[in-house]
Each structure stands twice: as C-alpha cells, then as structure tokens.
C-alpha cells in the first residue's frame, strides 16, 4: 500500500462500520430471523455475495474519484505533448471480488500511441 494508506485507527473504524452493515444485512435477509432450516453455508453465501458487492462499489467509487481528479489533458510520457483523456471500461480482479473501472486513456497523435495516465502519481 502507498505512503498514503489509512491510519490503523481509521481502518478499525471502517471495520466497525462494516460489522454494523453485516448485522443490517442479516436483518435484511431474514427480517424475522433465520429459520432453523437456514444452514451456515446459506448464511455464508449471503455474506459472500454482499462482500463482493461492497468490494465492487468501494473500489469502483474510489477509482472513479481518482480518475475525475485528473486534468482533461495529460502529457504524453514520450514527447510531452498534451493529449485529451477519455475513458475506457476495464474489469479488474481485486481481493475479495472484481471491480469495473472507467480507466483514463489518452492517445498521442504525434507518437501514434495510447497511454494510460496514472492516477497513482497524482497522490504523490
């Protein structure tokens, strides 16, 4: 993780928040409580589906916010010409599931090549 990783205290807050979401999820899945016919595997399946959805939503949102922070034009890494940035959807596998990113991409007409402006470098 980068130097800008969240402090341990903030990570504990996020874990506590997610734990509350887990209790809410249980109430959403079984408003009257799970019947005795609901197995541990059934409960695990519900939690796993929710976990993957949280990963998709969180990663997609954070990556989108980074992409939006980029200027509309980025310098070509080869010649330095300012090039218009557009977006290209890309599915990525991440821990705990997958996410759909709207990845910034630019094309340099001078070098006749595409490049992917890094959203990571703006954080430095």
Kindly state whether residue 110 participates in binding Zn ion, applying the rule CB under 5 A.
yes
Rounded distance between C-alpha atoms, residue 16 and residue 8, angstroms: 12
Rounded distance between C-alpha atoms, residue 88 and residue 90, angstroms: 6
Tell me the closest approach of the beta carbon of residue 18 to Zn ion, in angstroms.
44
Tell me the closest approach of the beta carbon of residue 113 to Zn ion, in angstroms.
7
Tell me the closest approach of the beta carbon of residue 109 to Zn ion, in angstroms.
8
Phi-psi region of 33 (alpha: psi -120 to 50; beta: other; left: phi over 0): left
Shorter beta-carbon distance to Zn ion: residue 26 or 70? 70
What's the chain's length in residues?
124
Q: Which two tokens stand for residue 22?
A: 């887990």
Kindly state whether residue 11 participates in binding Zn ion, applying the rule CB under 5 A.
no
One of 78, 82, 114, 123 touching Zn ion (CB under 5 A) = 78
Contacts of 89 (CB under 8 A, 6+ apart): 100, 101, 102, 103
Kindly state whether residue 76 participates in binding Zn ion, applying the rule CB under 5 A.
yes
Shorter beta-carbon distance to Zn ion: residue 58 or 111? 111
Tell me the closest approach of the beta carbon of residue 124 to Zn ion, in angstroms.
22
Shorter beta-carbon distance to Zn ion: residue 39 or 109? 109
Q: Please report which helix (H) or strand (E) contains residue 45, including its range.
A: helix 40-69
Which residues contribute to the site for Zn ion (CB under 5 A)?
A: 76, 78-79, 81, 108, 110-111
């Amino acid at each position: 993780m980068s130097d800008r990783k969240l402090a341990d205290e903030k990570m504990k807050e996020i874990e506590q928040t997610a734990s509350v979401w887990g209790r809410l999820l249980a109430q959403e899945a079984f408003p009257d409580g799970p019947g005795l016919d609901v197995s541990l595997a059934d409960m695990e399946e519900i939690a796993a589906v929710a976990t993957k959805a949280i990963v998709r939503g969180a990663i997609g949102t954070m990556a989108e916010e980074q992409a939006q922070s980029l200027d509309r034009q980025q310098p070509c890494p080869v010649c330095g010409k300012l090039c218009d940035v557009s977006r290209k959807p890309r599915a990525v596998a991440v821990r705990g599931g997958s996410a759909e990113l709207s990845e910034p991409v630019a094309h340099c007409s001078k070098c006749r090549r595409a490049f992917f402006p890094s959203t990571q470098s703006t954080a430095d």
